[in-house]
Structure 1
Amino acid sequence: MRNKLCFLVLLILQFGYAQQYDSVVIEKDSIDSNNQVYKVGNVYVFDYEIIKNGISKKLKTNSNDGFELVNKTSDSVGVAKIHLLVRPSIDSPRTNENQTQISYMQGPEFGSFSSTGVVDNSSNVWIHPIRSGFFESLETCPFPFVKKPLSIGLEWQDAMSIGEGWGNQLWGEWSGQLLLSYHYKITGKESITTDLGVIECYIIESKADSKLGTTTLKSYFSDVYGFLRFEYELLTGLKVTMWVVDFMENKAFNDTMTFFKTKEYLKQ
């Protein structure tokens, strides 16, 4: 009986650690309609680079079956841009309950897509990063997250536990669960030059501490567009930078069957 009780306690603790970001305010109603920046029909196109040993790289291939890095200037780059779509959840259930449905696609071939969620309301904005192939590495870092009202100097903390399946020799390996303790702070406000123009952004500096060390994310948040730039540093010193190069709104999306047939995600 005692062994069964101990097992139950450990199981409860494991599920407790697995809870994602307990401080995130997630609404149960008006999940899509009250979004302030990540509105259904929005499309964000990100460029990116991966800095390894001081050399800028991109992905030749990238899937859950594996990935290959090549120099950024190589003719064999296969993943040139990352597209984030804020999709309506009419024909299929939400991937994450009570979160606005988003999909990530890797261009220019658009061979597949992965769906997850974003929380966007008057209390906070919190978004799942892309997590396919190489980008599983971002699971070890703080997620993009900002509390409201936006105020320089505002600080908050949170935590999450992730399984060993997210590990890799390139960005860190571990056994069992890895507890990440997050700290966030809005450190300033800056007008940054983007492909969309000069845009005023709040700067959020965050870190995730664990038994393996510390990862960091510096993010740039616009109260008009959302997150426009991410600067990650992983446990092994690897750096990943992503920035918005195009933005569209009020778009209609093809259904899944049409997408795989045409490789076009926007309705014509």
Structure 2
Amino acid sequence: MKYKLNLFFGIVFLLGSCANNKSDDFICAPEPMPKYDYRASIIGEMTPQLDSVLRIEKRREIFKPCRIYAFDAAFYSASNELLSKERILLMATGKRWEHNPEKQDEILVKYEFDKESIDNINLYQLNKSAISNEWWQTVSTGIRENVEEIWMHPFRSNQYNFTEVAPFPQIKFPLSVGKKWTDNDIKLQEGWGDWSHMKIRSTFEIQSKETIQTTYGELENCWKVKAVSNFDLGRSEVTYWFHEKFGFVKLNYVNYGDQKLHIELAEIKDN
């Protein structure tokens, strides 16, 4: 199948919001970039009016509005059986994400799955109480890009829902080999089946800076990060490579059921 990235924008999609389960029509129509993201310096409500809010200079360089990234994704069982192979498209809309507008921009994620394979792939889902035969095709979710960090919700729909209990892709500036940090902010709410109300604790370490090969081509000076998460049902890990121009260009997951997911950059389209 030939994927034509320029069809992703300029065409109206039926958008399924992963947060509120409603459908909206959406096209790429960027708004002026805010000057700041906001982060509370104490635990409390996120609002720019509070004295306790820190202003962080905003960036839109990797998640450039209307730029489309295409990724190839291969999902494997614990016995290394290939369960699915598909393309995932990601586009930043140039708007704030409505569910966290103080801190996050919106991205659209489009999954090019084979509908005839859904029933078979669902047999391998770890979260049995969250299995659905109606998979999302296009979803809206959030990312953060500023002078302190780059952070994104993972590809977490359909057969990839286990990435919600794995470390979220992220980078903390400044970058250096050996740098470590933790992320204990993920606590799942109602609606995540077996995982509802569980808290995920993740650790990260930048291991090296190296040249890697992707479907997109050879990429130099990629920061290799090893991340591990633990929650009530087990441990998941992801090794990912971050490129300072293109972002998270390769991600290799091993979830707590020993299933594997390999994602790598395949194509870029700027409009």
TM-score (norm 2): 0.66
Deviations 1:127-169 (A, max 9, x none): 01122222221101000011111100000012122246435xx
1:55 matched to 2:60? The reply is no
- Partners of 2:142 and 2:250 lie apart in 1 by 18
* Alpha-carbon distance change, 142 to 177 in structure 1, aligned in 2, over 3 angstroms: same
Kindly state the Cα deviation for residue 27 of structure 1 after the two structures are TM-superposed.
Answer: 7.6
Kindly state the Cα deviation for residue 225 of structure 1 after the two structures are TM-superposed.
Answer: 0.6
- Amino acid across the alignment from 2:264: W
Equivalent residues in 2 for 1:1-268, closer than 5 Å: 31=58, 34-52=59-77, 53-58=79-84, 72=85, 80-89=86-95, 94-97=98-101, 98-107=103-112, 112-159=137-184, 160-163=186-189, 165-167=191-193, 173-174=194-195, 176-200=196-220, 201-249=222-270, 251=271
Q: Give the % identical residues.
A: 26
Q: Given that residues 95 and 101 in structure 1 are in contact (C-alpha distance below 8 angstroms), is that contact kept between their aligned partners in structure 2?
A: no
Q: Given that residues 86 and 103 in structure 1 are in contact (C-alpha distance below 8 angstroms), is that contact kept between their aligned partners in structure 2?
A: yes
Kindly state the Cα deviation for residue 107 of structure 1 after the two structures are TM-superposed.
Answer: 2.5
- Partners of 1:134 and 1:27 lie apart in 2 by 37
- Partners of 1:220 and 1:44 lie apart in 2 by 15
Give the alignment's Cα RMSD to 1 decimal.
Answer: 2.6
Q: Given that residues 177 and 206 in structure 2 are in contact (C-alpha distance below 8 angstroms), is that contact kept between their aligned partners in structure 1?
A: yes
- Partners of 1:27 and 1:94 lie apart in 2 by 20
Q: Given that residues 253 and 262 in structure 2 are in contact (C-alpha distance below 8 angstroms), is that contact kept between their aligned partners in structure 1?
A: yes
Q: Given that residues 194 and 245 in structure 1 are in contact (C-alpha distance below 8 angstroms), is that contact kept between their aligned partners in structure 2?
A: yes
- Partners of 2:223 and 2:257 lie apart in 1 by 27
* Alpha-carbon distance change, 108 to 240 in structure 1, aligned in 2, over 3 angstroms: closer
Q: Given that residues 56 and 147 in structure 2 are in contact (C-alpha distance below 8 angstroms), is that contact kept between their aligned partners in structure 1?
A: no
Structure 2, gaps ≥5 residues long: 1-42, 47-52, 115-135
In structure 2, the residue matched to 1:64 is none
* Alpha-carbon distance change, 43 to 28 in structure 1, aligned in 2, over 3 angstroms: farther
Name the SS for the 1:87 alignment partner: strand
Q: Given that residues 152 and 168 in structure 2 are in contact (C-alpha distance below 8 angstroms), is that contact kept between their aligned partners in structure 1?
A: yes
- Amino acid across the alignment from 1:104: V
Larger radius of gyration: 1
- Amino acid across the alignment from 2:80: G
Deviations 1:91-125 (A, max 9, x none): xx63432311100012279x841001111112111
- Amino acid across the alignment from 2:255: L
TM-score (norm 1): 0.66
- Partners of 2:105 and 2:82 lie apart in 1 by 33
- Partners of 1:186 and 1:108 lie apart in 2 by 32
Kindly state the Cα deviation for residue 224 of structure 1 after the two structures are TM-superposed.
Answer: 1.1
Q: Given that residues 137 and 166 in structure 1 are in contact (C-alpha distance below 8 angstroms), is that contact kept between their aligned partners in structure 2?
A: no
Question: Which moves more between the two structures, 208-217 or 146-155?
Answer: 208-217
